Amino acid sequence: MSADDKVMLGVSGGVDSSVAALLLKQAGIEVAGLFMQNWEDDGSGAAQGSENVAGGRKPRATECRAEDDRQDAVAVCGRLGIPFHARNFAREYWDGVFQHFIDEYRVGRTPNPDVLCNREIKFKTFLTEAHVLGAERIATGHYAQVERRNGHWALLRGLDADKDQSYFLHQLGQEQLAATLFPIGHLPKSEVRRLAREAALPTHAKKDSTGICFIGERDFREFLGRYIPAQPGEIRSVDGQHVGEHAGVFFYTLGQREGLQIGGVRGRDGAPWYVVGKDIVTNVLYVDQGHDSAWLLSQSLRSEAAHWVAGAPPAATFDCTAKTRYRQTDAVCRVSVLDNGSVDVVFEAPQRAVTPGQSVVFYRDDACLGGAVIASTDAPAIGDERTIATTGRAA
C-alpha cells in the first residue's frame, strides 16, 4: 500500500481491533476508527425492525452491550490519538443479515449470520462508508491474512489456528481483499494480549465476545420465539418411538445434545440422545442415541451457488480440504462444480452433522478458496418424504 493511503479501522471495543489500531499507528499509517452499531432494540430486547430504524428512533442500550463496546472503542482511539467515528448500520443489518437469519430458521435450516455480516456489512456497507470518509483502505481485527499470489489476492488462514477466522470470511472477493488489511492476522492471540497490556490499552483484559451479538446473553429459544412462534411437538426416535416433547423444531440443529430433556426411556440404555432430523411439516423432532449415530453421518453434500475468492474455481473438479463448521478439522474431499454454480462435495471419510444452511468452506494448505451454503447431504433419510424435503437430506 502507498504510505499516503488512509485506513479506516473497524473498532469494536474488543482487544483484537484495539491491537490492530496500535499496530497501524506504530507503522506510521494514517488511521481512524469507525464503530459500527449493527443492532438496536426497543429496550426490552426486541428488535425495532428496519421500518423503525429508518424512522430514526433514538437507540437504546441493548443486551449485547453495544454502548459499553462503543465507549471502550472511544477510549482506545483516545489512548492512541486517532480519530473516532460511529455509524448506525442497523437497518442494513436487518435487511441484509437478520431477515435472512429468520427466514432460514422458518424453513428448518441453521444459518450462519457471521458469514453474511462480513459480506454485507463489514466488507460492503463499512467499506463504502470508509470511502465516503476519505479512506482508501479498511482494516479489521480478524485473524486472517491477505497476500498477492499468482496475479490475484489470496485469503489466508490466520497464524493462530485456534483463532483463524477465514471460515467466516470466505465470501470476500478480489475487490474487498484488495482494499483490506488484517493487522493481527500474523499473530497468536497470546501476543495480541501482551501487546495490548504493554501499551496499557483499556481493553487488554476484556473478555472475548462469543455467540451472536443480537442475541447476547439472552436465552436463544426465548429470543427466536419473538420472531417465529414456538409450536411444541413430539420427539421421536428414528424407529418411531415417542421419547419426549420439544419446544419447537426451529430451536434445534443436527447433532445437538443439550436441551432435549429426554429422561429414562423404557427399553433404552442411558446413552445420551442427539438430534438427527427435524420435520417442520409434521412438527416432529427425530433423535438417536450415540454421538456418532449413523443417522448423523454423511459422505457427500450438494451446495447452493458457490463463491470463489479468486473469482473462479480452481478447476471443474479438484481435490482440497473443507470445513463444514467453524473450528472443524479439515476434511479431505473432492469438489465438482456444476453448471449452475453449485458444487457436489465427496469426502474421503464420513462427516458428522453436516447441516443445511451452514457453510462448507474449501482450503488448499493455508489459502481459503471460497465456499457455499450447504443445501443437502446424503445422510440417511428419516420418516416420510416431507422429512426429506424439510431437512435437506438427499433421497
Which residues are the active-site residues? 117, 213
Report residue 123: phi and psi, to 5°.
-120, 20
Place of cell 472477493: 173
Sign of torsion, CA 343 92 212 195? Answer: positive
Q: What is the DSSP string of 11-74?
A: --SSHHHHHHHHHHHHTT-EEEEEEEE---BSSSS-B-HHHHHHTTPPP---TT-HHHHHHHHH
User: What is the rounded distance in angstroms from the CA atom of residue 248 to the CA atom of residue 115?
Assistant: 25
**Total residues found in the chain within this entry:** 395
Report residue 127: phi and psi, to 5°.
-60, -45
Q: Which long-range contacts (CB under 8 A, 24 or more apart) does 211-220 make?
A: 212/113, 212/114, 213/38, 213/39, 213/64, 213/66, 214/38, 214/39, 214/47, 214/62, 214/64, 214/98, 215/64, 216/62, 216/63, 216/64, 216/65, 217/63, 218/45, 218/63, 220/251
User: What is the rounded distance in angstroms from the CA atom of residue 90 to the CA atom of residue 78?
Assistant: 25
**CA–CA distances in Å: residue 175 to residues 14, 128, 147, 167:** 26, 12, 13, 18
User: What is the rounded distance in angstroms from the CA atom of residue 143 to the CA atom of residue 148?
Assistant: 17
User: What is the rounded distance in angstroms from the CA atom of residue 79 to the CA atom of residue 199?
Assistant: 9
Q: What is the DSSP string of 279-295?
A: ETTTTEEEEEESTT-GG
264-295 b/e (C-beta count within 10 Å ≥ 16 → b): eeeeeeeeebbbbbbbbeeebbbbbbeeebeb
